[in-house]
Amino acid sequence: MLNNILMASDFSKHAHYALQRATTLARQNKASLHFVHILNNSWMANFTQFPINEMQQALFAEKKKAEQQLFNLLKEYTHDSSSHVSVLTGRVIDEIVRYAEENHCELIVAGAHGQYYINDYLLGTTSESIVRQSHIPALLIKKEPMADYKRILITTDFSEVSKGAVEFAFNCFPQATLQVLHVLDIHHRQFFDKNEDVLSSKPPITKDIIERLDDFLKTCHVGQKKFQKKIIGGYFADAIVEQSEQWQADLIVFGTQGNSKLHYMIMGSVATRILHKSGVDMLVVPPKKNN
């Protein structure tokens, strides 16, 4: 499934966590790992007052220093000599997107905190997020990996984008237990006991939603027996976090630009709320790029 994985490091603690996860995924998929660091524009601005030759010397020295740090980290976490190491210069989002697309990376892995802070990395300082720009899934690491992902919660709004998220998670993590979650608005909360599964007897008002979830999963190219199904009512972000805690998920997966409220996930307060409230890693799957 994965042939090329891009790991973007800012040398922070969370970036080290992300590297551990990225090296594991690369090994499991027999994929090439692309390990990069970006010297951003703010660093470059410090040298604009110097003569061009001095600026070039400073840039060369800084790139060599960063490159050595990358190699040292690879030695610490992996013995795979096939990893590709690069130090890039420019705006972080732009360089990650460019490198990922040029090198046919199917997954971007990064720490959820650090110098490449999540608001700059994922949400961006412009109207377009890195995910929407690159059409490449992004795995955001929030804690040190202790084991492979075992319980993966996948949110769906029945859109093609969330279908892609279901299929991507299924193919990337075939050994995990998967639960597909649909969140209704708060007014439906009374009809769905958070401790019940959707196969329990329900009032007629909920039957069409249950059938839609069943039909949705049938359209996905996955092994349906691997999936549990869950429907709950509540405020969108809070309900996702609550269910991930209740079910003890170690990864939350969602698509972007779907129906209902899901398309706000990457661009607005819902994403920020989940990122702040949840301690669980997140996999963000954007729409597939039209050729």
Where is the domain boundary, 141, 173, 188? 141
Is residue 2 pLDDT above 80, yes or no?
Answer: yes
Residue 4: what pLDDT? 96
Q: What is the pLDDT of residues 133-186, one digit of tens each?
A: 567 898 989 899 999 999 999 999 898 989 999 999 999 999 999 999 998 875
Provide the residue range defining the domain that includes 47: 4-141
Is residue 117 pLDDT above 60, yes or no?
Answer: no
Q: What is the pLDDT of residues 27-82, one digit of tens each?
A: 999 999 999 998 876 666 566 666 667 767 777 888 899 889 999 988 887 766 56
Where is the domain boundary, 85, 106, 141? 141
Q: What is the pTM of this model?
A: 0.83
Q: What is the pLDDT of residues 186-240, one digit of tens each?
A: 555 555 555 555 544 455 556 788 889 999 999 999 998 899 999 988 888 889 9
Co-location of 206 and 244 in the same domain: yes
Number of domains in the chain: 2
- Confirm whether 290 is domain-assigned: no
Co-location of 122 and 173 in the same domain: no
For residues 257-269, give the mean pLDDT. Answer: 46
HEC-encoded secondary structure of the chain: CCCEEEEECCCCHHHHHHHHHHHHHHHHHCCEEEEEEEECHHHHHCCCCCCHHHHHHHHHHHHHHHHHHHHHHHHHHCCCCCCEEEEEECCHHHHHHHHHHHCCCCEEEEECCCCCCHHHHHHCCCCCCHHHHHCCCEEEECCCCCCCCCEEEEECCCCHHHHHHHHHHHHHCCCCEEEEEEEECHHHHHHCCCCCCCCCCCCHHHHHHHHHHHHHHHHCCCCHHHEEEEEEECCHHHHHHHHHHHHCCCEEEEECCCCCCHHHCCCCHHHHHHHHHCCCEEEEECCCCCC
Residue 118 structure tokens: 């999540």
Calculate what percentage of the chain has a pLDDT beyond 90.
40
* CA 107/CA 136 separation, integer angstroms: 6
- Confirm whether 19 is domain-assigned: yes
On average, the pLDDT of the chain sits at 80
Co-location of 128 and 162 in the same domain: no
Residue 45: what pLDDT? 58
Higher pLDDT, 290 or 229: 229
